[in-house]
Amino acid sequence: MKTRVPSLILGRLFIALITLTIVSFAVFFATTLLPGDTATILLGQSATPEAIAGLRTAMHLDEPALLRFFYWIIGLFQGDLGTSYANHVPVATLIGGRLLNTLKLAGLTTLVSVPLALTLGITAAMWRRTLYDRIVTIATIGIISVPEFVIATSAVLVFAVYLKWLPALSITYNVDSFAGLLRAYAMPVITLTFGVSAQMIRMTRAAVIETMNTPYVEMALLKGASRPRLVLRHALPNALSPIANAVALSLSYLVGGVIIVETIFNYPGIAKLMVDAVSTRDLPLIQSCAMIFCVGYLLLITTADIVAILSNPRLR
Amino acid sequence: MKTPSPTGTLAAWSGYRINLVGLVSFSVVLFWALMALLAPYITPHSVGAMIDMDYFGPMRPGLWLGSDYLGRDMLSRVIFGARYTVGISLAAVSIACFTGVVLGMTSAVLGGTVDMVVSRLLDAMNSIPSKLFGLMVVAAVGSSIPVLILTMSVIYIPGSYRFSRALAVNIDTMDFIMVARIRGERLPYLIGSEILPNIIGPVLADLGLRFVFIVLLLSGLSFLGLGVQPPFADWGALVRENIGGLPFAAPAVIVPSLAIASLTISINLLIDNLPQKIRDRSAP
């Protein structure tokens, strides 16, 4: 039998590539077609018209927008992200270390939230319609329905104000000792974990329950298999594909989550950089940050789709 | 698996079964809607007036929800905040769902190239994270209430399109659509009188969910200082203004957070507990 998997995956990657092109187009034009002349902004109001005209030619500003778009894309591929308007530093230097910080935060959150969410989701499905399941379900609905900053402020209230375990908002990043590291990362990671896990728990629970409604699970039930055996041995293997899909999809929530969390906890990551760039209207910086976020997001949702294709036994 | 009998059934109103959770969440939603509508008539103090000598004052008679970072009455500010949060979100969700549903039904009826092009374009738009899109627009054109409404409706058109297109494709294969086509009916009649009545239930439920997303996004942007600008303040902006009160658990920062949570959680629960008849009619 011929397998359709490679062609399906190639097709998905192709769609991702087209999407990326459209997205970069959108990012570029959203940020370039605005009022205000870049050369004037860079040189200030007192610059001579000749200097402005010179800079415009040097920056290709008097060429058509479509051409500038290509220069920009080529620059991106060569690692030239442009120069920040605000402090005349290359964008790449500004982003470098901060990107690493954000990735650290995202990685830690993934490490904490995936095992936690899978355990809660699967056990909730296993003991469906018990008090435990109801509590998990209501808690996840509650967390999904509130904005990230409400989760963050509640976490601060509980852990910093009432329990006094962790420092509140003003975190000094003293990461010399392990305890210091733990304290610095605890609040942002807790906040992000809540949001990411809530999504993942819901989807995992739904996926397991879906397979529980199939005839072969009913067969196992009639055979007299215990409830945990029913779920772990019979339902779970077939729910793996939607669960893997759910994990990747929920992780894309991180993209929106870090923007809020880095701002509220003053974390020196790339999202904070972008929010600051928006307030100063520093366009090259905004463009690069936006592209990084879009690529990350697209990577995660494409992975989710590919995992779903790979783990679907009917396609093999 | 046994299906549970609906518990807490209160009334059989017009043939629909309503349960307790649904009723409570409906009351909360209604409460905030009334607050938003009646705001100027019920606020005890002027929104901008600094009436408390102290900042981040506690709850006490006369200042039922305490005072904010400038000593303004928090109760009045939260009631007026409801106006901005509910009003802006409602306007945005109406535009988003109207456009999305009309496009979705049109794509489903026309099919072919139109369907493919529109679907691809909107899918691409869907893969820009919503907060990022909002940030970019604010960076480009600045933040004002009309810009916010338009941006958020553009962000949520693709989702609404996808949902209604999936529903409409199912209806489109039915015999009565075929009959209408043979009769020579045109597109506006087909989508308005043949398809829409058959998908309106799930579409309205979807509108509710999308309203929640928009409230979350709007509050998020305002919290970042990029949404509703002073002197106006929605709930997200109220949390931002008063975030300094967080270390001493001031009501000024807790109350607007609770307001957002109560509204969004109630809408979610209300939709979860809608009578099956409305929610799942012809759902795929």
CATH code of the domain covering residue B141 = 1.10.3720.10
DSSP labels for A213-250?
Answer: TSHHHHHHHHHT--HHHIIIIIIHHHHHHHHHHHHHHH
Residue B251 lies in a domain: yes
Residue-range definition of the domain harbouring residue B227: 8-277
Is pLDDT of B68 > 50? yes
- Structural contact between residues B205 and B271, judged by C-beta atoms closer than 8 angstroms: yes
Residue B3 lies in a domain: no
Residue B1 lies in a domain: no
Per-residue pLDDT, B1: 37
Residue B282 lies in a domain: no
B212 touches chain A (CB under 8 A): yes
DSSP labels for A42-67?
Answer: HH-TT--HHHHHHHHHHTTTTS-HHH
Q: What is the ipTM of this complex?
A: 0.79
B137 touches chain A (CB under 8 A): yes
Q: Do B224 and A259 touch (CB under 8 A)?
A: yes
Per-residue pLDDT, A40: 65
- Structural contact between residues A202 and A125, judged by C-beta atoms closer than 8 angstroms: no
Q: How many domains does chain B have?
A: 1
Indicate the SS3 state at residue A6.
Answer: helix
Per-residue pLDDT, A33: 62
Confidence of residue B217 (pLDDT cuts 50, 70, 90): very high
Chain B: closest CA distance from residue A124 (Å): 16
Assess whether the previous peptide bond of B231 is cis (omega < 30° from 0). yes
- Structural contact between residues B195 and B281, judged by C-beta atoms closer than 8 angstroms: no
Residue B195 lies in a domain: yes
Which is more confident, A17 or B54? Answer: A17
Chain B: closest CA distance from residue A11 (Å): 13
Among residues A204, A234, A227, which one has the least CA distance to residue A136?
A: A204
| Sign of the four-CA dihedral A35, B129, B114, B211 | negative
| Sign of the four-CA dihedral B7, B10, B16, B19 | negative
Substitution target from B20, B25, B135, B150 for chain A, most A beta carbons within 10 A: B135
| Radius of gyration for chain B, computed over Cα atoms and rounded to the nearest angstrom | 22
Substitution target from A19, A146, A158 for chain B, most B beta carbons within 10 A: A146
B139 touches chain A (CB under 8 A): yes
| Radius of gyration for chain A, computed over Cα atoms and rounded to the nearest angstrom | 24
Distance CA A81, CA A91 (A): 6
Average pLDDT of B62-78?
A: 81
Is pLDDT of B267 > 70? yes
- Long-range pairs of A211-216 with CB within 8 A, sequence gap ≥ 24: A211/A235, A211/A236, A211/A238, A211/A239, A212/A125, A212/A128, A212/B1, A213/B1, A214/A238
Secondary structure of chain B: what % helix, strand, coil (to 5)?
70, 5, 25
For chain B, the residue count is: 284
Residue B283 lies in a domain: no
Per-residue pLDDT, B282: 42
Distance from chain centroid for Cα A93: 22
Report pTM.
Answer: 0.83
Residue B153 lies in a domain: yes
DSSP labels for B164-204?
Answer: HHHHHHHHHTSHHHHHHHHHT--HHHIIIIIIHHHHHHHHH
Write out chain A residues lying below 8 Å of B246, CB-based. Answer: 153, 156-157, 161, 168-169
Write out chain A residues lying below 8 Å of B130, CB-based. Answer: 256
Per-residue pLDDT, A247: 86
Chain A: closest CA distance from residue B192 (Å): 32
Q: Please report, in tens digits, the pLDDT of each residue of chain A (316 residues total).
A: 457 778 888 888 888 888 888 888 877 877 666 555 666 666 666 677 777 777 777 666 666 777 777 877 887 777 777 777 777 788 888 888 888 888 888 999 999 999 999 999 999 988 888 899 989 988 898 888 888 888 888 888 888 778 777 766 545 555 556 666 677 788 888 889 998 999 899 889 988 888 888 888 888 889 888 888 888 888 888 888 788 888 888 888 888 888 888 888 888 888 888 888 887 777 788 888 888 888 888 888 888 888 877 777 666 5
Chain B: closest CA distance from residue A96 (Å): 20
Among residues B201, B206, B194, which one has the least CA distance to residue B94?
A: B206
Average pLDDT of B51-62?
A: 75
Write out chain B residues lying below 8 Å of A145, CB-based. Answer: 212, 216, 261, 264-265, 267-268
Render pLDDT for B149-202 as a digit per residue (tens, 0 to 9): 999 999 999 999 999 999 998 888 889 999 999 999 999 999 999 999 988 888
Residue B17 lies in a domain: yes
> Which residues neighbour A25 within 8 Å (Cβ) at sequence distance 6 or greater?
A69
Average pLDDT of B22-37?
A: 90
Is pLDDT of B6 > 50? no
Per-residue pLDDT, B284: 39
